[in-house]
């Protein structure tokens, strides 16, 4: 019996290598091992150019998906982006359609193995083999994303190794005469063929549906996707050059196993066998990554009450068991009841429509001007990239014929009907497009901003965010008597005047107004008043502790119009430059995340010095509290000035505690026994400092 647990966030288990392997593995399959022979029928030797041109319409969608995924790393990928940008009805249509397209592609990949299996075993029935693989891969997916990612990595390493061997030997056997009349098929035939092989690349974007499970998504998603696309372009380009250069055109045209045929011509029987095995592994790789990606769509839609709640329950291994079982079961049903080959081709038209909507989603998110929309990667040449990404797929859809258009229209109607009759009453949100309407004097949905701020807190700081430096140079006010919030604001405003052009009274008015209208968070015994100020050079912070309590009257945004009051023991004042709102929000999110820790208030109240108060807010892994004592690794620091120390460039000795006083050390500061140092820096630098001097 599979144990289901309540819904929670998926574990972040996928590294950059996993991202690369999944994105590459979903791309290198039928596009290389099956389609070149079919493409050669129409384009002849110009299939090489067709494969290069086919990647062009994908680039705007890929750039847009990467931007959205680094801003909103959530399970469901395209569904989540469309829902939050264009509203839940469009999200429902996009989520259901993309899930169906992925399921059909997996079924198509499993059936597509038949052409290569038949090279070894004649008369074998492919459907039972495909069903067995679907069951096995479904079970593997249940046992964790990390295990699935590792399996995918092994598959991709094997495929790339075999293809590298094929390419190395194939480049030496190319016959230039085979490229005679390269452009004779004409522009129309080449472009039509590009449309046929376009689907070869779309797998590279499927990683977005797993973005919630990716470590450091702002770095690993763009890097993994771009490396996967570069790999696919290189292999498709060089691979088709070899196939055309080695095989006579009359042999290549219509061949359903073109890579195996070319390998036999180049490397003989051993090459033929090894490349055929690589083709089978590639189809398994696509199916594995496809099940993994597709199962996250029902999960995400269930979280949002668009599908029944069972889909978002996680099993004991932290994976969406019911969603995986449903996805795998649907694949098996398609294998048994339908012809997935023909239907999968129809689903490509809907995939193009989704790509156009994704590009529109980027425009909507940016033009909504939601400050908490903070992608780690921004698509270049905005909005022209997105405009091209909207127009190009629509043109290709029009060229695909009435049947493809009718299939896409059917998915649109089915998704809209499901939303209207099942989900509409349970969904209480709108997309970012309402923020554009708000700029025009109509409705907006403030819940999206809150949700994006929650994502900011979950994503954490970026590598170059100066959070630790801001905390290290912050001003500390430690109060011993019960105090009113207005009095604390007055003290803080006076100190901030050294950085801004406002006087203390003007700053006090702004802080109190923010508290009155509900923009000052008050929770867990802390208050976080904050301002963005034009002309300020860098963010500054004040930490206020008052063990007896600070009385604050504030407006609770969850109950607008009603005033609440509370006793808080910590107030963090933050001011930031007006022109960098997302950094301001990331700092606020980092503080909020730290305050959420169960042990925060205990550590805050127990801190004995200003230095220790600051350390409560610092990254545990990015700061070192070091006591200089004889008989320890730190003994070598005694009697040395700061300027003579050899410390990593990425580290900073920010504070020094000596004889009850906190000092900001300078180059000529000489360290003494009994000094306590607060050192901040990146992970690598901190690791080196701890090895060299100990700490704790």
Range list for CATH 3.30.70.1450 in the chain: 619-696
Q: What is the rounded distance in angstroms from the CA atom of residue 241 to the CA atom of residue 52?
A: 11
Residues in the chain: 696
Question: Nearest 5°: phi and psi at 547?
Answer: -60, -40
Share of the chain above pLDDT 70, in %: 87
Domain 619-696 class in CATH: alpha beta
Share of the chain above pLDDT 90, in %: 12
Question: Nearest 5°: phi and psi at 113?
Answer: -65, -20
Q: What is the mean pLDDT of the chain?
A: 81
pLDDT of residue 444: 52
Q: 441: pLDDT confidence band, cut at 50, 70 and 90?
A: very low
- Name the E strands within 385-529: 475-479, 483-484, 522-523, 526-527
pLDDT of 223 > 50? The answer is yes
- Range with the poorest average pLDDT among 108-112, 219-223, 399-403, 537-541: 399-403
* Per-residue pLDDT reduced to its tens digit, 336-368: 887 765 665 666 677 788 888 899 989 988 887
pLDDT of residue 347: 67
Which CATH architecture best describes the domain 14-421? Answer: Up-down Bundle (1.20)
Residue 458: both structure tokens together: 């979950």
- Range with the poorest average pLDDT among 41-50, 119-128, 134-143, 511-520: 119-128
pLDDT of residue 695: 60
* Per-residue pLDDT reduced to its tens digit, 78-112: 888 888 888 888 888 888 888 887 888 788 778 77
- What end-to-end distance do the CA atoms of the chain give, in Å? 46
Q: 440: pLDDT confidence band, cut at 50, 70 and 90?
A: very low
CATH superfamily of domain region 465-611 = Mannitol-specific EII; Chain A (3.40.930.10)
527, 571 Cβ separation under 8 angstroms? yes
pLDDT of 7 > 50? The answer is no
For 617-633, the DSSP string reads: HS-STTEEEEE--TTSG
pLDDT of 3 > 80? The answer is no
- Range with the poorest average pLDDT among 312-316, 443-447, 582-586, 620-624: 443-447
Q: What is the rounded distance in angstroms from the CA atom of residue 29 to the CA atom of residue 76?
A: 23
Selected residue with higher pLDDT from 458 and 276:
276
pLDDT of residue 548: 92
pLDDT of 136 > 90? The answer is no
pLDDT of residue 345: 61
- Helix, strand, coil percentages (3-state) for the chain, rounded to 5, are 60, 10, 25
Average pLDDT over residues 124-145: 79
* Per-residue pLDDT reduced to its tens digit, 628-656: 888 888 888 888 888 888 788 777 887 78
Give how far Cα 388 sits from Cα of 64, 284, 357, Å: 11, 34, 12
For 273-330, the DSSP string reads: HHHHHHHHHHHHHHHHHHHHHHTHHHHHHHHTTSS-GGGG-EETTSS-HHHHHHHHHH
Q: What is the rounded distance in angstroms from the CA atom of residue 439 to the CA atom of residue 423?
A: 28
Most confident range, picked from 324-333, 369-378, 438-447: 324-333
Closest Cα to residue 438, out of 428, 449, 451?
449
Range list for CATH 1.20.1740.10 in the chain: 14-421
Letter string b/e over residues 526-558, b meaning 16 or more CB atoms within 10 A of that residue's CB: bbbbbbbbeebeebbbbbbbbeeebbbebbeee
Closest Cα to residue 680, out of 471, 539, 537?
471
Residues paired with residue 542 on neighbouring β-strands, in sequence order:
475, 573
* Per-residue pLDDT reduced to its tens digit, 243-289: 999 999 888 888 878 888 899 999 888 888 888 888 888 888 778 87
Q: What is the rounded distance in angstroms from the CA atom of residue 577 to the CA atom of residue 540?
A: 9
The helices-and-strands tally (H runs, E runs) of the chain is 28, 13
pLDDT of residue 612: 83
pLDDT of residue 544: 93
Q: What is the rounded distance in angstroms from the CA atom of residue 346 to the CA atom of residue 406?
A: 9
pLDDT of residue 2: 41
* Per-residue pLDDT reduced to its tens digit, 291-301: 888 888 888 88
661-663, strands of its sheet edge to edge: 623-627, 676-681, 651-658, 661-663
* Per-residue pLDDT reduced to its tens digit, 556-587: 655 555 678 889 999 999 999 988 888 888 88
pLDDT of 315 > 80? The answer is no
Residue reference for tokens 């360290």: 671
Range list for CATH 3.40.930.10 in the chain: 465-611
Alpha helices in 247-257 (DSSP H): 249-252
Q: Which positions ≥6 away from 543 have C-beta within 8 Å?
A: 471, 474, 475, 476, 477, 570, 571, 572, 613, 614, 617
Letter string b/e over residues 562-579, b meaning 16 or more CB atoms within 10 A of that residue's CB: eeeebebbbbbbbbbbee
Q: 9: pLDDT confidence band, cut at 50, 70 and 90?
A: low
Give how far Cα 465 sits from Cα of 469, 582, 587, 648, 672, Å: 9, 11, 8, 18, 32
85, 364 Cβ separation under 8 angstroms? yes
- Range with the poorest average pLDDT among 210-219, 221-230, 397-406, 438-447: 438-447
pLDDT of residue 6: 43
Q: 619: pLDDT confidence band, cut at 50, 70 and 90?
A: low
């Amino acid at each position: 019996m599979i144990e289901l647990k309540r819904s929670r966030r998926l574990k972040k288990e996928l590294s950059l290598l996993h991202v690369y392997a999944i994105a590459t593995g979903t791309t290198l399959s039928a596009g290389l091992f099956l389609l070149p022979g079919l493409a050669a029928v129409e384009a002849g030797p110009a299939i090489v150019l067709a494969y290069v041109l086919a990647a062009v319409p994908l680039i705007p969608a890929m750039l847009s998906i990467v931007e959205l995924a680094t801003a909103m790393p959530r399970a469901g990928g395209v569904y989540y982006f469309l829902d939050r940008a264009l509203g839940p009805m469009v999200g429902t249509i996009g989520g259901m359609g993309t899930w169906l397209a992925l399921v059909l592609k997996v079924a198509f990949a499993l059936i597509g193995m038949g052409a290569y299996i038949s090279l070894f075993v004649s008369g074998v029935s492919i459907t039972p083999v495909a069903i067995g693989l679907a069951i096995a891969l479904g079970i593997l997916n249940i046992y964790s994303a990390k295990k699935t990612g590792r399996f995918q990595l092994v598959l991709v390493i094997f495929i790339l190794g075999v293809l590298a061997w094929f390419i190395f030997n194939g480049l030496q056997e190319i016959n230039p005469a085979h490229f005679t009349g390269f452009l004779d098929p004409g522009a129309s035939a080449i472009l039509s063929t590009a449309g046929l092989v376009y689907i070869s690349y779309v797998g590279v974007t499927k990683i977005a549906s797993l973005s919630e499970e990716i470590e450091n998504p702002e770095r690993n998603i763009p890097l993994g996707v771009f490396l996967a696309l570069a790999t696919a372009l290189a292999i498709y380009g060089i691979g088709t050059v070899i196939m055309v250069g080695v095989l006579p055109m009359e042999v290549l045209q219509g061949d359903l196993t073109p890579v195996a045929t070319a390998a036999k011509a180049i490397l003989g029987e051993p090459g033929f066998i090894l490349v055929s095995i690589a083709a089978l592994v590639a189809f398994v790789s696509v199916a594995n990554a496809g099940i993994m990606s597709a199962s996250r769509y029902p999960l995400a839609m269930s979280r949002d009450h668009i599908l029944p709640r069972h889909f978002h329950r996680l099993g004991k291994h932290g994976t969406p068991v019911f969603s995986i079982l449903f996805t795998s079961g649907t694949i098996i049903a398609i294998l048994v009841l339908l012809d997935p080959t023909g239907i999968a081709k129809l689903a490509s038209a809907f995939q193009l429509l989704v790509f156009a909507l994704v590009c529109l989603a980027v425009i909507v998110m940016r033009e909504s001007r939601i400050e908490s929309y903070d992608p780690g990667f921004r698509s270049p040449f905005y909005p022209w990239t997105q405009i091209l990404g909207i127009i190009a797929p629509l043109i290709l859809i029009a060229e695909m014929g009435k049947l493809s258009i009718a299939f896409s229209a059917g998915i649109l109607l089915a998704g809209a009907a499901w939303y209207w009759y099942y989900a509409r009453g349970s969904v209480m949100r709108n997309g970012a497009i309402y923020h554009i309407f708000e700029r025009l004097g109509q409705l907006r949905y403030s819940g999206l901003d809150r949700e994006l701020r929650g994502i900011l807190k979950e994503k954490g700081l970026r590598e170059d965010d100066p959070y630790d430096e801001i905390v290290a140079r912050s001003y500390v006010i430690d109060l011993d008597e019960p105090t009113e919030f207005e009095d604390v604001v007055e003290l803080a405003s006076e100190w901030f005047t050294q950085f801004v052009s406002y006087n203390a009274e003007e700053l006090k008015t702004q802080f109190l107004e923010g508290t009155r209208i509900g923009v000052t968070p008050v929770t867990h015994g802390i208050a976080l008043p904050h301002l963005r100020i034009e002309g300020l050079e860098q963010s500054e912070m004040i930490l206020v502790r008052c063990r007896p309590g600070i009385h604050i009257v504030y407006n609770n945004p969850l109950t607008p119009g009603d005033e609440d009051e509370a006793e808080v023991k910590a107030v963090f004042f933050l001011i930031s430059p007006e022109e960098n709102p997302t950094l301001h929000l990331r700092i606020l999110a980092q503080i909020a995340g730290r305050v959420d820790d169960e042990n925060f208030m205990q550590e805050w109240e127990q801190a004995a010095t200003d230095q220790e108060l600051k350390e409560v807010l610092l990254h545990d892994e990015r700061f070192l509290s070091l006591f200089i004592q004889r008989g320890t690794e730190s003994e070598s620091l005694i009697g040395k000035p700061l300027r003579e120390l050899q410390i990593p460039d990425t580290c900073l000795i920010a504070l020094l505690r000596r004889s009850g006083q906190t000092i900001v050390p300078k180059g000529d500061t000489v360290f003494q026994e009994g000094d306590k140092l607060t050192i901040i820096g990146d992970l690598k630098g901190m690791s080196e400092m701890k090895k060299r001097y100990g700490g704790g």
